[in-house]
Amino acid sequence: MVLGNLSGGRPGGLPPVRPSASVIPWRQGAAGIEVYWIRRADAQPFMGGWHAFPGGGLARADATLPVCGTPSGAGEGPPAAGFPAALREPDVDPGPDLVPGLVAAALRELFEEAGLLLATPAPDPSRLAEARRALLAQEAGFAEILTGLGATLDASRLVWAGRWVTPPFAPLRFDNRFFLLEWPATEDLQPAFHPGECAEGEWIPPAQALERVWRGDGLTAPPILHILEVLRQQGPTAGLGRLRDPSETNLGPLRKIELRPGVLLFPLLTHTLPPALTTNTILLGTGEAVLIDPGSPLDAENERLECALAVARERLGRRVTAIWLTHHHPDHVGGVTRLRASLGVPVLAHPETAGRLAARGLTIDGTLTDGQKIILAGEPPLEVTVVHTPGHARGHLCFLEEAGRSVVAGDLIAGLGTIVIDPPEGDMDDYLGSLAKLAALRPGTLFPAHGPAVKDALGKLREYIDHRLWREEKVLAAWSRGLRTPEEMLPTVYEDVPKEAHPLAARQILAHLERLRRSGRLE
């Protein structure tokens, strides 16, 4: 369960999808193809620290910008190639791939994030640095910049390279179009990142980029992984068909989301708390595998999951041998009965979780305990350590994959918002202790039950601890002013959350008060 901005998504639906575009600069290097990618700044609220290609969302002003030429290949073949009906969310328009202003948005983002301006006549390179500075400082709009340079955007060097939609677990979702751009080393102007939204930028061979991601030194989204793999194998010409139609990445009706080796994510609609709308069911393993938190109670979602698991077994050799649960809450166990029957596998959980589910008529077949080590056979085999992390729930577990330091984190943290601590099941002392316990294990990437993966695991855990202690000081200050109940404290302790979240916020205050009372800090 997540505490956040309850108005973040659309009522009854997924977060709205925003049209966007990215450009993939590439060149022939000494050892083969190289691409230019950037790393987003760690402080970015969405996908902080992730690698990407220059790009971003469609701005209203982009539609008014004149553009010469069109990207080659755009509009060829059926719209949204590679997106079978089962993969399309109802709010994603499967219509034309190029909506008004989208090419201008791609060229604007390329200039903002890489300093490359495709325009005619070619602008004086000596003037571009100041123009880019003024644009990023919002001292001038892009149209004004182009007028001052006496230039018109030119899209004739772009090559259409496919379309992807952000999975439904993300708080921000994009219907993104990709374009290839050959940019030889002989060009007078070379791409350069600008500090701010970006932390670094570099030319890199696709194979080296993939190696960096797989060993845990970087994190990037499924489209980037697919593009890098295709460019590594075939290059930008022979591989163009695979880029434009990425259906090979589908696992039946679900997209393959594997950001770390052996960690497959399936975000499924569940009855959870906003702003989250999905729970990440995770398939952990490279051969022998476990299915963690099949939380959706919806037949349609479970049918898609069962089909995806069958494809994963046939194509990837991932064989489900057990179901593991992080804890007992409904949005983590909604599909357990169905999946146990359809897969014919046992269900394992912490003894505390087993007891709570038994009271609801759901039997657990075996237990998982703190420090237990389990090896999942495969290529490579995965050694997994069970970590007991109470606080959100008394039987809450995390699962640490030892080699890559990936953590299936359940509801210990969230990719968006914070976690609800609801007494008496929730305990703030236990929760802070669990955050510190996991941080001491030096995790790499966190895979929460709600929201996207978190690259900077230690940073996120410390952020959560600092945030809770900061909130606790506000509770203590309210107590010192004579306020005694959570309801009295809400206006000053949780003034930053909407009123819809106040009932949950009051439970957090109660959890803090119990912790402060036990420590003797309440007079």
pLDDT in tens, 288-340: 999 999 999 999 999 999 999 999 999 999 999 999 999 999 999 999 999 99
Measured N-to-C along each axis, helices 222-233 and 206-214 cross at an angle, to the nearest 10 degrees, of 140
CB 82 within 8 A of CB 246: yes
User: How far, rounded to the nearest angstrom, does the alpha carbon of residue 311 sit from its chain's CA centroid?
Assistant: 23
Q: What angle do CA 439, 259, 306 make, to 5 degrees?
A: 110
pLDDT at 188: 85
Burial label, 463 (beta-carbon count in 10 A; 0-12, 13-18, 19+) = middle
Ranges of residues in the chain whose predicted pLDDT is under 50: 4-12
CA distance 334 to 326: 13
Q: Which amino acid is at 263?
A: V
| AA identity, residue 279 | T
Local structure of 355: helix, strand or coil: helix
Question: H or E stretch including 117?
Answer: none
In 243-315 the beta strands, taken as DSSP E runs, fall at: 250-251, 254-255, 258-260, 263-269, 278-284, 288-292
Instruction: Say what the pTM is.
Output: 0.89
pLDDT reported for residue 44:
77
The predicted pLDDT at position 8 comes to 35
**Cα separations (Å) of 325 from 322, 372, 411, 434, 517?**
10, 15, 11, 17, 32
Amino acid at 340: R
Packed helices 125-136 and 102-114: angle between N→C axes, nearest 10 degrees: 100
- Beta strands (DSSP E) in 306-431 are 319-324, 347-349, 366-367, 373-376, 382-388, 397-401, 406-410, 418-419
Q: Which residues contact 462 (CB under 8 A, 6 or more apart)?
A: 439
Q: Which of 120, 117, 222 has the alpha carbon at shortest distance from 169?
A: 222
Assign domain 18-251 to its CATH architecture. Answer: Alpha-Beta Complex (3.90)
34-88 confidence digits (pLDDT tens): 999 999 988 776 777 899 999 999 999 999 999 999 999 876 655 555 555 555 5
Domain boundaries, the chain: 18-251, 256-472
**Hey, which CATH number is domain 256-472, 3.90.1150.10, 3.60.15.10, 3.90.1530.10, 3.90.228.20?**
3.60.15.10
> Residues 372, 228: contact at Cβ < 8 Å?
no
Give residue 94's pLDDT: 65
